[in-house]
Amino acid sequence: MQGSQMGPSQIGDRMQGAQLGSHTIQTHGVRLARKHTHDWVALILLAAVVVALHYAPPFNRFVGKDMMTHIRYPVKPSTVPAWAVPIISILCPWVIFISIYVARRDVYDLHHATLGVLFAVLITAVFTDVIKTAVGRPRPDFFWRCFPDGKQLYDQVTGGVICHGNKSFLTDGRKSFPSGHTSCWGPYAYFHMLEELQAANSNDAQNQQNTATGGQHIGLSRQEHEMKSRNDLESGSV
């Protein structure tokens, strides 16, 4: 990412901002964003890949009658919807970044921290969705996704399931491994955030550690509703 090292012009901008007392969004924001145009274009492309993978059909793994015993948990609504996970994982640290920006008036830290969060979340989402699509592991409630009326139908030759459930709901039912709820929370520039918070306020740093563990609670909510197995959550965390 272009923000990892500062060039002479960027150092000059910082020195000029320091002489003025601050380098804010109003004084340096547009110029800084233009210098990192390639980074923002890369983020847009990554977001497009994530959306494409989300709608990509997963690998049609064989699911037979004997396997249905272990994937027959009831369908329950998610405590944390899938669409809310990236919003939470980006918004929570960004609120902290904004609070630090208000105290320090340093648009460089705000910009680079924001890039770090977005790159971390989007790259992790790409890897997670690629694995989900390639593996095609059924969720613990796959039976009721496949047979919503409870009427079972199997191929007479192979013994594989012949599903008649909602197509999109069924497609999502084959994307259990790894857990996106746990993987999407952890990697967002955590160490940079912790470093910034420790420099600003040691109490805030402790609060950020508590916030990071909140992602694990989101993941555990998936197991409480029988939407993930334990190793799905563990693999997502890794």
Question: What are the tens digits of pLDDT across the range 70-124?
Answer: 899 998 887 878 788 878 888 888 888 899 888 888 888 888 888 888 888 888 8
- The answer to whether 233 touches 222, Cβ cutoff 8 Å, is yes
pLDDT reported for residue 7: 53
Q: Considering the chain, what is the average pLDDT of its residues?
A: 75
As a whole number of angstroms, the distance between CA 232 and CA 178 comes to 5
pLDDT reported for residue 79: 80
pLDDT reported for residue 170: 92
pLDDT band at 206 (very low <50, low <70, confident <90, very high): very low
Is it the case that residue 225 has pLDDT exceeding 50? no
Query: What is the number of other CB atoms lying within 10 angstroms of the CB of residue 153?
Result: 11
Q: In angstroms, what CA-CA distances link 134 with 57, 74, 126, 146, 191?
A: 9, 25, 12, 20, 31
Question: What are the tens digits of pLDDT across the range 142-158?
Answer: 999 999 999 999 999 99
pLDDT reported for residue 62: 92
Please compute the mean of the pLDDT values over residues 190-210 and round it to a whole number.
Answer: 48
Please compute the mean of the pLDDT values over residues 174-199 and round it to a whole number.
Answer: 63
**Which comes out higher in pLDDT, residue 41 or 12?**
41
Please compute the mean of the pLDDT values over residues 46-66 and round it to a whole number.
Answer: 92
